[in-house]
Amino acid sequence: MMSKISGLYGITIDNDLDIQARVQAALKGGANIIQYRDKSYLPDREKIAERLVELCHEYDAVLIINDDLDLALATNADGVHLGRDDLDVKAAREKIGDKIIGVSCYNKLELALEAEQQGADYVAFGRFFPSVTKPGAVPAETSLLQEAKAMLSLPIVAIGGITTENAKLLIQAGASSVAVIDGLFNQQNIKKTAEEFSKLFR
């Protein structure tokens, strides 16, 4: 499963009423990973997540659940993404078995080294550019990706303000994958945007 963490990584928008159509468009365009991110805790989130798992598997992609290990288990998602205030990797691994565990490392290489030691499957750094979704997120330098690439054996995901115009810089610096929210799901033609992102990895 770890090898699946490459290419375009789409992260859903909160309260998106057209979430299934948007995700399908991204998958058609070549997204390899979708993360279901729902900070509003909608009452039908389990049904939404189950459908997204099915959709991703139709396109040979993976569905990661943001922050919610119980939801990942209940919906048979492919993995979970953990942030600063979530379970540590060891505790998550005991519950989730061999499914994918990703960890947010912000701008801290030491967090990534610790996550790898604990058994994470990938690490994420960022924000690398000004972000609409998280304007207050700590900034990270592209040199961090170069350092991480030299020191880690895990896939490295870059996040934060990424567009089709600036993604190549991060890929060249060592990102295995770019995680995109607004730059993908708020675009007029999601499928075409996903195709443009995917071409950058070829």
String of DSSP letters for 84-129: TTS--HHHHHHHHTTSEEEEEEET-HHHHHHHHHHT-SEEEE---S
- Per-residue confidence (pLDDT) for residue 172, from 0 to 100: 97
Report long-range pairs for 191-194 (Cβ below 8 Å, ≥24 apart).
191/25, 191/26, 191/28, 191/29, 192/29, 193/29, 193/164, 194/8, 194/10, 194/25, 194/26, 194/27, 194/28, 194/29, 194/30, 194/31
> Rounded mean pLDDT of 46-72?
96
From CA 61, how far away is CA 134, in angstroms rounded?
26
Q: What is the pLDDT of residues 68-115, one digit of tens each?
A: 999 999 999 999 999 988 889 999 999 999 999 999 999 999 999 999
- Per-residue confidence (pLDDT) for residue 3, from 0 to 100: 61
104 is catalytic: yes
Cα 47 to its chain centre, rounded Å, is 20
Q: What is the pLDDT of residues 127-185, one digit of tens each?
A: 999 987 777 788 999 999 999 999 999 999 999 999 999 999 999 999 999 999 999 99
Q: What is the pLDDT of residues 2-37, one digit of tens each?
A: 568 999 999 999 888 899 999 999 999 999 999 999
37 is catalytic: yes
Q: What predicted TM-score, i.e. pTM, was given to this entire model?
A: 0.96
Phi, psi of 81 (to 5 degrees): -110, 130
- Per-residue confidence (pLDDT) for residue 12, from 0 to 100: 97
Number of domains in the chain: 1
- Per-residue confidence (pLDDT) for residue 16, from 0 to 100: 85
Domain of residue 18, CATH code:
3.20.20.70
Which entry of 28, 45, 93, 134 is annotated as an active-site residue? 134
Which entry of 4, 104, 131, 176 is annotated as an active-site residue? 104
Which entry of 4, 37, 99, 127 is annotated as an active-site residue? 37
Structure tokens at 108: 């801290």
- Per-residue confidence (pLDDT) for residue 43, from 0 to 100: 78
Domain with 193, as residue range(s), is: 2-199
